[in-house]
Structure 1
Amino acid sequence: MRAVGVPAVLAAVVIGAFGAGPAHAAEKHHVVYEVWGNGGSASLVYFDGSNTLKDSAEVRMPAKVEVDNDSADPSYEITAQTNGKGEISCRITVDGVVKDTQTAGGDATVVSCSAV
């Protein structure tokens, strides 16, 4: 059996951990954020197509926001708060696949959906 030197082992570990080829280009993903409930309106905070937080106050429910995300490390998240009492739900769909759905209820209720 042939002995392997430390540089060869270290190179194998580094290549295994970080990959040997060039970084892949970011893919574009179509993201649909949805919020609905019986509270009438809601305030929304969500990640747009470049992973920047956006907010919308006093949006009538049901609400739908669509973005195309082409970030190399995309984040999908929406948080909504009712502007009254009631139940509120959110959903995130990425490329036609539902990634998260949540529901909450009460006074000035907050609900959050997220996916990676």
Structure 2
Amino acid sequence: MTPPASPPGAGGPGRLKPLGSVVVVVGVIAVAIAVASYVTPRAAPTAGEPGQVSPTEVAQAEPVAVQNVTRTIVYALAGEGGARNLTYVSADAGLEQQTEVTTPWSVTVTRTAPAGEAEFASLAAQSAGPGGLTCRITVDGTVVAEKSVSAEGAQLSCTA
């Protein structure tokens, strides 16, 4: 008995592969070339073309003076039972943590930053005992945040 004949282009033994798979491979290659040509950066225009600045023009530009401002930030914590822990933003904008803090507690930090730049200040604490706990942040003598809690183990946060 002889095996059934395969239709032309069906890819039987010793025969051509199906035309459909060739079309898919060619299509994938065409898409890859199109994507690569879109993603590949274009050659940078040379100096002297309209809208371009030469390196000598860049070197001759006047530097912009940045005005720095120094701010004094005072973090304060008051209350009857102290705090189990507290965290505040330090002078270098990092976080400082302390545990078993007795109240009243305060720390003063000085920060210098470009004028107009937002200043972030935060103090968070957890009450250690009965009674209230109050946090306060002042910047250059002005109170910018204040909050109180009254339960043992309560957490509070002042942010400005």
Please show how residues 20-99 of structure 1 align to structure 2 within 5 Å.
22=64, 24-72=66-114, 73=117, 74-99=119-144
Deviation at 1:71, TM superposition (A): 3.8
Q: How much identity, in percent, do the aligned residues show?
A: 31
CA contact (8 A) 1:51 1:71 kept: no
CA contact (8 A) 1:27 1:70 kept: yes
Q: Distance in 2 between matches of 1:55 and 1:29?
A: 21
Query: Which stretches in structure 2 are left out of the alignment for 5+ residues?
Result: 1-62
TM-score normalised by length of structure 2: 0.54
Higher strand share: 1
CA contact (8 A) 1:50 1:70 kept: no
Q: Distance in 2 between matches of 1:52 and 1:25?
A: 23
Kindly provide the amino acid, as one letter, of the partner of residue 66 in structure 1: T
Kindly provide the amino acid, as one letter, of the partner of residue 137 in structure 2: I
CA contact (8 A) 2:82 2:100 kept: no
CA displacement, residues 5-24 of structure 1 (integer Å, 9 cap, x when unaligned): xxxxxxxxxxxxxxxx8373
Query: Which stretches in structure 1 are left out of the alignment for 5+ residues?
Result: 1-20
CA contact (8 A) 2:77 2:133 kept: yes
Higher helix share: 2
Deviation at 1:27, TM superposition (A): 1.4
- 4+ residue runs over 2 A deviation: 21-26, 71-74
Kindly provide the amino acid, as one letter, of the partner of residue 86 in structure 1: G
Kindly provide the amino acid, as one letter, of the partner of residue 105 in structure 2: A
